[in-house]
Homo-oligomer: A and B are copies of this chain.
Amino acid sequence: VSDPRPVGVFDSGIGGLTVLAAIRNALPGENYLYLGDTARLPYGTKSSETVTRYALRAARFLVAQDIKLLVVACNTASAAALPVLEAALLPLPVIGVVIPGAAQAARVSRGAVGVIGTESTIASSTYTRAVLNRRPELRVVTQACPLFVPLAEEGWFDHPVTRDVARIYLAPLLEASVDTVILGCTHYPLLKGAIAQEMGPETNLVDSAEAVAAEVAAYLGKEGRRREAALGGLRVYITDTTERFRRIAQTIIPSGISALELVDLPG
């Protein structure tokens, strides 16, 4: 069997494109629909109730396009809303970014895991629970990094200011001698250079994108639902159109986007 329907991927904005790029690298034959809820970004400073409401609306838009699988490529939405999304969209399979990242960290850590993310993701403690469920003996240290998203969106990926901010945010993780850091926000891989420099070469940096891509490939393979084709398309929907989105999307997906379309979600 083969399933030609597209894979749906959504995020509050552009960060999820890092996840999409990893999935597409693993599964180039699939068609992809990406929704960036740019009219309401960022999610990471908002309450879990509001994030859940936004995530449900975004998911329903993609489900209405007849997708075969939904990837929630946003840590804040995954942390706040994954159980609600799974229940609301049954029987559609839903894969978030938190569990694959937490599982990978639990596999590789030698004792202490650091988690960095938005205020909302850190406040939810979802990563901490997911890591400790797998290996209760680990220590988990968390740190919200609210300036990382705006720094990434400014394009200051390896800028002196970004390195200074990384030094401040990551100091508690260094003090706690973590050996593994979960990049708990899809924007953070863009700042990997600055984060790696601060944490040092011995520290594992867990980028959920790769782990999610592996899970998507495993799921579609197991179910016999891969699309059999050499190259699929990528259609991107955004709820607000700005030059900023085009600029950063170009950096993350340089190979090009088949179509970019503005959509109006209720609310």
Contact = CB atoms under 8 A, between A and B. Distances in A.
Interface of A: 38-41, 45-47, 49-50, 119, 146-147, 149-151, 153-154, 160-161, 164-165, 168, 239-242, 244, 266-267
Contact of A151 (B38, B147, B266): B147
Given A40-B39, A154-B147, A47 B240 contact: yes
B50 A39 contact: yes
Nearest to A159: B168
B240 A46 contact: yes
A150 B154 CA distance: 11
A119 B266 contact: no
A241 B45 CA distance: 10
Given A40-B39, A40-B40, A47 B150 contact: no
A50 B39 CA distance: 7
A193 to B, nearest CB: 18
Contact of A165 (B46, B47, B146, B161): B161
Contacts of A266: 267
A117 to B, nearest CB: 15
A46 B39 contact: yes
Given A266-B267, A267-B266, A267-B267, A242 B46 contact: yes
A45 B147 CA distance: 15
A40 B42 CA distance: 8
Given A47-B241, A147-B150, 11 more contacts: A38-B46, A39-B50, A45-B153, A45-B244, A47-B240, A47-B242, A50-B239, A50-B240, A146-B150, A147-B151, A266-B267
A165 B160 CA distance: 10
A40 B50 CA distance: 10
A148 to B, nearest CB: 10
21 contacts: A38-B46, A39-B46, A39-B50, A41-B45, A45-B153, A45-B242, A45-B244, A46-B242, A49-B240, A50-B239, A119-B242, A146-B150, A146-B153, A146-B154, A147-B147, A147-B151, A161-B161, A161-B164, A161-B165, A161-B168, A267-B267
